[in-house]
Amino acid sequence: MLAMVAAGWHLCLDVADRLLDGDPIGPIRGAEALDFGWPELRDTYAARLGEG
């Protein structure tokens, strides 16, 4: 579960970074996160956190 939450927060911070850079993309919600690399982020966080 921790890897899933971390991946979600990672995307939130990516959105904030784009907003601060003057290139806003708006919120990423639900299934749309799949198009922004959420599964790969989840897997990476799971490996780093020893969840997988």
Beta strand spans in the chain (E): none
Are the C-beta atoms of residues 49 and 3 closer than 8 Å to each other? yes
CA distance 51 to 21: 33
Confidence of residue 5 (pLDDT cuts 50, 70, 90): very high
pLDDT digits (tens, 9 = 90+) for 12-45: 999 999 999 999 999 999 999 999 999 999 999 9
Domains of the chain: total: 1
| pTM for this predicted structure | 0.89
Are the C-beta atoms of residues 11 and 45 closer than 8 Å to each other? no
- What domain range includes position 18? 2-49
